[in-house]
């Protein structure tokens, strides 16, 4: 779970940071263990005293540990009070915040000059780890309305929660990643002005963060499972990132790669990032499907929904003493068989090894151990239990994207029906996101964490 400061007007939290004795030499002795478990250094490679007065983000003589440490302070421009929580008496704020993609140095005041001080970090400084919160499209609409037309939000508590979430985002306490589902649904947001406001709100909040395409996440889970890896082999960092192209399937989209040899490596990376973000903004604001593309998508999604509806109706019309959970597992396996077979081939599994992996008597246990696939199976089970439940076209996006986010984010804010399915099945799925039905619940959770 992500760390948050005691008060949201401040950006640091007191922790038990301690110097490490790992390595040799002063530069390596002064490593600090960060909240995420990584080692951080305030020195250049092989450097002793004094501490540097400027950190050049493009310099090759800084160790990765050092860059990791200083880069954590390069958050959005927040001025000189970025580090202010429980500041020792008489000590000024130490670091001028900057955006990594737009600046090349951080100036360190001369007061940071002794090994006993290490810029106050031994006093208990730490950097906030933001909460990753995935919003269903309807809650993005609320966020957009709170920015452009707050009078349309009739519930004043929900409006206050949306305003608070905007503050948390701008202060760096919360990340709101976007997915390709958000792109598709924004393209159908109705009137041009409504779409523009929704897209602009998303672009203002997301800070380049995306959720990986669920099919790629699912295939990665299956790949690790076929290779006998533990259920936590896929991490949240593998699902949510700022890498260009993240929301699209890897086999279908190749991000622009800068090839200008006259530019240093770091500059080419910035060109690639800027190109990707500009492209994403353009398609979010303007992209639409052609009638032919829309008809093709409707046919595929409609076929998926119809197949589940037929299964539900068959079970309703032919009652029997059947294990509905096993039915859900079998249907999940059938849907994934093409991907499972492809990953088994890539893993070089023999026929015997594959058969041992996909035994019918252990299918439920096998899938339940996977954060995303397990939630797909659980939602399918919950819905098949209700024979009156009608399967609709938008169920596909809900199950795919929201189940994926629920497996890896810190929190998800989603529609009531799916929230009920996920919370009901929490005991039968891997630990994942805290599930909320509205922004008010999310705000209460964040405030409780900070208390």
- The 10s digit of each residue's pLDDT in 228-277 is 877 678 899 999 999 999 999 988 888 888 888 877 887 888 888 889 99
Q: Which of 101-110, 161-170, 349-358 has the lowest mean pLDDT?
A: 101-110
CA distances from 407 to 224, 228, 231, 400, 430 (A): 16, 20, 11, 11, 7
Pairwise CA distance, residues 348 & 406, whole Å = 31
Sheet architecture: strand order including 174-175: 174-175, 131-135, 411-413, 434-436
Is residue 23's pLDDT more than 50? Answer: no
For range 326-347, the mean pLDDT? 93
Is residue 210's pLDDT more than 70? Answer: yes
pLDDT value of residue 141: 96
Contacts of 71 (CB under 8 A, 6+ apart): 57, 100
Q: Which of 58-62, 253-257, 323-327, 338-342 has the lowest mean pLDDT?
A: 58-62
Pairwise CA distance, residues 151 & 232, whole Å = 44
Tell me the pLDDT of the chain averaged across its residues.
Answer: 75
DSSP string, 342-375: HHHHHTT--HHHHHHHT-GGGHHHHHHTSHHHHH
Q: Report residue 362's pLDDT band, with 50, 70 and 90 as the boundaries.
A: confident
Contacts of 262 (CB under 8 A, 6+ apart): none
For range 315-342, the mean pLDDT? 92
Residue whose tokens read 């999310």: 442
* CB-CB contact of 212 with 246 (8 Å): yes
Q: Give the predicted TM-score (pTM) of the model.
A: 0.73
Alpha-carbon torsion angle 364, 369, 373, 374, nearest 10: 60
Is residue 47's pLDDT more than 90? Answer: no
pLDDT value of residue 109: 35
Is residue 451's pLDDT more than 70? Answer: no
Q: Using one digit for the tens of pLDDT, what is the confidence trace for 166-203?
A: 999 988 889 999 999 999 899 887 778 899 999 999 99
């Amino acid at each position: 779970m992500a760390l948050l400061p005691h008060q949201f007007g401040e950006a640091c939290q007191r922790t038990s940071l301690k110097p490490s004795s790992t390595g040799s030499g002063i530069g390596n002795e002064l490593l600090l263990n960060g909240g995420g478990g990584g080692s951080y250094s305030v020195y250049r490679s092989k450097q002793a005293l004094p501490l540097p007065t400027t950190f050049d983000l493009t310099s090759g003589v800084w160790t990765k540990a050092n860059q990791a440490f200083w880069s954590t302070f390069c958050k959005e421009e927040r001025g000189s009070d970025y580090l202010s929580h429980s500041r020792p008496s008489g000590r000024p704020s130490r670091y001028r915040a900057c955006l990594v993609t737009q600046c090349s140095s951080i100036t360190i005041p001369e007061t940071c000059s002794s090994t006993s001080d290490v810029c106050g970090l031994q006093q208990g400084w730490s950097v906030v780890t933001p909460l990753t919160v995935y919003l269903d499209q309807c809650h993005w609409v609320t966020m957009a309305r709170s920015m452009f037309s707050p009078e349309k939000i009739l519930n004043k508590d929900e409006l206050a929660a949306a305003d608070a979430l905007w503050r948390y985002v701008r202060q760096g306490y919360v990340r709101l990643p976007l997915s390709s589902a958000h792109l598709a649904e924004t393209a159908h947001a109705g009137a041009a002005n409504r779409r523009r406001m929704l897209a602009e709100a998303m672009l203002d909040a997301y800070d380049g963060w995306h959720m990986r395409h669920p099919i790629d996440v699912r295939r990665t889970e299956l790949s690790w499972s076929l290779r006998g890896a533990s259920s936590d082999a896929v991490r949240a960092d593998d699902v949510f990132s700022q890498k260009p192209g993240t929301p699209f399937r890897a086999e279908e989209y190749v991000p622009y790669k800068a090839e200008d040899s006259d530019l240093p490596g770091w500059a080419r990376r910035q060109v690639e990032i800027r190109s990707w973000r500009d492209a994403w903004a353009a398609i979010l604001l303007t992209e639409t499907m052609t009638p032919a593309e829309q008809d093709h998508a409707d046919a595929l999604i409609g076929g998926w929904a119809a197949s589940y509806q037929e299964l539900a109706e068959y079970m309703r019309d032919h009652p029997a003493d059947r294990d509905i959970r096993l039915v859900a597992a079998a249907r999940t396996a059938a849907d994934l068989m093409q991907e499972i077979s492809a990953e088994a081939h890539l893993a070089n599994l023999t026929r015997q090894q594959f058969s041992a992996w996909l035994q019918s008597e252990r299918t439920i246990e096998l899938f339940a151990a996977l954060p995303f696939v397990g939630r797909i199976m659980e939602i399918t089970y919950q819905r098949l239990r209700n024979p009156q439940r009608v399967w609709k076209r938008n169920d596909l996006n809900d199950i795919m994207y929201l189940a994926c986010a629920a497996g890896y984010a810190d929190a998800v804010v989603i529609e009531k029906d799916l929230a009920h399915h996920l919370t009901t099945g929490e005991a039968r799925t891997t630990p994942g996101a805290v599930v909320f039905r509205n922004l008010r619940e999310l705000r209460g959770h964040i405030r409780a964490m900070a208390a």
